[in-house]
Structure formats: structure tokens, C-alpha cells
Amino acid sequence: MTSQTSPMKIGVLLSGSGTNLQAIIDVIAKEDLPIEIVHVVSSRPDAYGITRAEEAGIPVTVLNRDVYADTLAADQLIVDAMRTAGAEYIVMAGYMRKLTPVVLDAFPDHVLNLHPALLPSFKGAHAIQDAWDAGVKVTGVTVHLANEDYDKGPIVAQRAVEVAENDTVESLEAHIHQVEHELYPWVLRAFVEGRVSIDENRKVHIDIAEA
């Protein structure tokens, strides 16, 4: 993979507050990250991430429960919006719906997801609470390539988060979100700089020699 000479165009999928979208927006502005967010799709009309996108001047497509009654048609809407916008990568940032092959096949190995645990541990929508309930001393954050198996795509990067003795589940969640906001932009920079590769065993490697 070679480094891009022009900004990498990404589309973002979200369902909630959009803090990871905001983190990417902020890093692009402050650290000269050569990425352009060309479109945002929200699965919910009440998601605050819509406001964040609009304030940043990013076009938004808003879906709702009625649209998702036909998941394949909903995913085709996403593909059409992202292709029209020129997105090269799809970045899931708190997107709470499983993508179908309609999206995954349209952007093969170009769909990234963020998970608030160290996969393969604690898959699913309640990973932080599940890790807390299990009493683990270390959990973390995973960025992986999305595929048809929920939270099971090839792992791109991970960072550990220690569970301190004085933590509550709320403070642990805050620590995890802080790491998410650092790790996702770091991974995107690795992609745009051409330092990410996938070997024949579907393992992802990041060349850190140039980091």
C-alpha cells in the first residue's frame, strides 16, 4: 500500500452522540490529518452526531426505523450516498446496526469498525458493562475491518485500558472513550499513509517504522 497524495475520503456511519466523529473532525483540523469526511449517515433521526456533522459542514443522510424494515434496501441507500460522495473508506463510529454484504461487498476491506473491548473478548453491544461484570483488570479498544460476522473481522489495532480499583463502570466507560478518540484517528492516519497491509492469512499489519 502506498501513501496517498490527496486527502483520503471517508464516510462515517453513526447512531448516537457522535463523539468519535467529533474526534476525527478535531484531529483533521488540528493535526493536518489528510482526510476528508465526505458524508455522514445516521441510523437515527435524533442522534446528536447529526448536529456535529452539520456544524462541520458535512452532508448528512438520516435514516430511521421504517427505512430499516428492509435492511438490504437501507444498506443500498448507504452505498449510493457514499459512492455519490466519493467515499473510499466507510468508518463506523458508534453505528448500532449490522452491515449486510450490500455495503461490505461495495467497499471490500474498506469498512472500519470501533469496538469498546479487546476483541475477541466481550463482543456485542454491551461490551463495557460485560467486561465490568466479569471483573477483568484490563479491557480496551479494538479497531477492526468489518465483515459479515459481528465483531469478528480482522483486527487492525488495539489499545489496553486498565480497570483501576477505584473505577466505576461510568469512569471506565469515560476512559475507554478517551482511548477510542485517540486510536481511531491514529489508525486512519496509518491507512492514509499507506502503512496498513493484509497478509494471506487475513492478518492486518501496520508498519510503524515511518510513524
CB burial of residue 123 (10 Å; 0-12, 13-18, 19+) = middle
Compute the C-alpha angle 197/150/70, nearest 5°: 115
Q: Which entry of 39, 110, 115, 181 is annotated as an active-site residue?
A: 115
Query: Strands 60-62 and 35-42, how do they pair?
Result: parallel
What three-state secondary structure class fits 154? coil
Dihedral of CA atoms 146, 147, 150, 154 in degrees, nearest 10, equals -60
Instruction: Give the C-alpha separation, 125 to 129, whole Å.
Output: 9
Active site residue 205: no
Q: Point out the residues that are catalytic.
A: 115
